[in-house]
Amino acid sequence: MASSQDTEITLGTGKLLFLFFGLVAICAVFFALGYSLGRKSEPGITTASAAMNPEPSSGAKKAGANNATAPPMTFYKNVEQKDASAELSPAADAKHETAAPATQAAAPANTAAPVDPSTTIPSAAYFVQVAAVSKQEDADSLVDALKKKEYPAFVASGAATDKLFRVQLGPFGDIKDAEAMRTKLIGDGYSPIVKK
């Protein structure tokens, strides 16, 4: 009869460490490959999303073609482009052009003293804050996007030690008005908060 013998394999500390660090090196190689492929595919993602959301006007198609060669956009510039509708812009401009000759005498009185919300703030005012960002250009882009939707948006600067630019709407004299504006912003896809 043949007897079966079990053999025991013992690995020394040196061999175990070699196996462990070998597996770590293999994992690091795969992680580096995945990371580099992911970084290289970022422009492809923005062009693919532009292809999925085609814009109807020819001017918007030219802008979409330029996005493929442009550097990646920041979040707020992307939101501004996504929400801006090229079809509505000419109609709004035509509406203002037809109304301008009729109210030409009243226009200089209204534009003589534009009110800056950051300079004349009532003491018991409420504000709706849409975002607090670290880059001035992101804040300005978001304010422009909100103003296109006819929101009373502005950039509020904080204390000297605070480096955030707060995009706010207001001032509102009543908390109910501020909450109504917050609800409207939530419906448009923002995540605002009410501040006093």
Bridge-based pairing of strands 193-195 and 153-157 is: unpaired
- Indicate the Cα dihedral angle 89, 132, 70, 49, nearest 10°: -70
Is residue 183 one of the residues assigned to a domain?
A: yes
In-domain check, residue 5: no
One domain, residues 124 and 63: no
Confirm whether 33 is domain-assigned: yes
CA distances from residue 171 to 10, 112, 154, 195 in whole angstroms, order as listed = 76, 21, 10, 10
Structure-token match 């304010």, residue found: 143
**Is 96 inside any structural domain?**
no
Is residue 105 situated within a structural domain? no
Task: Answer with the one of 37, 72, 107 that is the final residue of a domain.
Answer: 72
Within-domain flag for 1: no
In this structure, are 60 and 124 located in the same domain? no
Q: Distance from CA of residue 119 to its chain's centroid?
A: 27
Q: How far apart are CA 140 and CA 138, in angstroms?
A: 5
| Structure confidence at residue 161 (pLDDT) | 74
Residue ranges of the chain whose pLDDT lies below 50: 58-67, 84, 86-113, 119
CA dihedral 44, 47, 49, 50 (to 10 degrees): 180
- Structure-token pair, residue 32: 């580096």
Asked if 94 and 85 count as a contact pair (C-beta separation under 8 A), the reply is no
Residues in the chain: 196
Is 40 part of a structural domain of the chain? yes
| Residue 32 counted as domain residue | yes
Copy the structure tokens of residue 27.
Answer: 């994992």
- Spatial separation of the C-alpha atoms in residues 83 and 142, rounded to whole Å: 11
Which residues, including other chains, have CB under 8 Å from residue 134's CB and lie 6 or more apart?
Answer: 163, 164, 165
User: CATH code at 137?
Assistant: 3.30.70.1070
192 touches 186 (CB < 8 A): yes
Of the candidates 99, 102, 50, 105, which has an alpha carbon nearest to the alpha carbon of residue 72? 50
Whole-prediction pTM value?
0.39
pLDDT, residue 75, reads 61
Residue 19 main-chain phi, psi, to 5 deg: -65, -45
Number of domains in the chain: 2
Range of the domain at 157: 120-195
